[in-house]
Amino acid sequence: MPDVQEPRTIVADLGRYLEDFTVGDVYEHRPGRTITEADNIQFSLLTMNRHPMHCDHAFAEKSEFGKPLVNSGLTLAMVLGMTVDDVSYKSVANLGWKEIKLVAPVFPGDTIYARSKVLDVRESKKRPTQGIVTTYTEGYKADGTVFLTFERASLVPKRGHGIGD
C-alpha cells in the first residue's frame, strides 16, 4: 500500500523579479486570442471611437481592405495584456511606452499572439530595491504577420521587495 501524503497547497507565482530578467531572453506569451466582431464594436463604443472602419460593413467594403478593421487601441491593449504574466505582473508601475508602430491590419476573426524580448535590465538610481526592465514587444497573427510593435519600460522590484513579499 502506498504511503498517504498530506495534500499540498500550491500557490501560483506569476511574474518575475528584477533578478529573473536577462537581456536577450524572449518570452512567447500565451494564450493567444481570437478577436471577435463583438470585441471590436464594444471596445470602439466604450472608447468613443465611432470611426466607421470599425463598425460599418458597407463603409468598410469601399475601403482598400474591403472589410472592417479591428480598432488599433484594442489590439494594443490585448497585446499589452498578453505580456503581463511574463513581464510586468510583479511590477510597481509601467514607466512608459515608445515607438508604438502599427505595421499591418487586424480583422475580426484574426487570432493574435505576442512575444517580448528583454532589451535592458538595470537597477534604479533612486530606488535601491527596484530596477527598470525595458522590453520590445511584437504582436503577431497566427500566420506570423507582425501587426504591432512597441518598447516598454517597467519598474520591477528586486526579490524580497515586491508587494506581499
Distance CA 165, CA 67 (A): 49
The residue extents of the domains of the chain are 18-157
The burial of 31, by beta-carbon neighbours within 10 Å (0-12 exposed, 13-18 middle, 19 or more buried), is given as exposed
Under DSSP, the state recorded for 159 is: T
Digits of tens for pLDDT over the chain (165 positions)? 567 788 888 777 789 999 999 999 999 999 999 999 999 999 999 999 999 999 999 999 999 999 999 999 999 999 999 999 999 999 999 999 999 999 999 999 999 999 999 999 999 999 999 999 999 999 999 999 999 999 999 999 999 998 877
CATH of 18-157, one of 3.10.129.10, 3.20.20.140, 3.40.50.300, 3.40.50.150: 3.10.129.10
CB 156 within 8 A of CB 110: no
Distance CA 27, CA 16 (A): 12
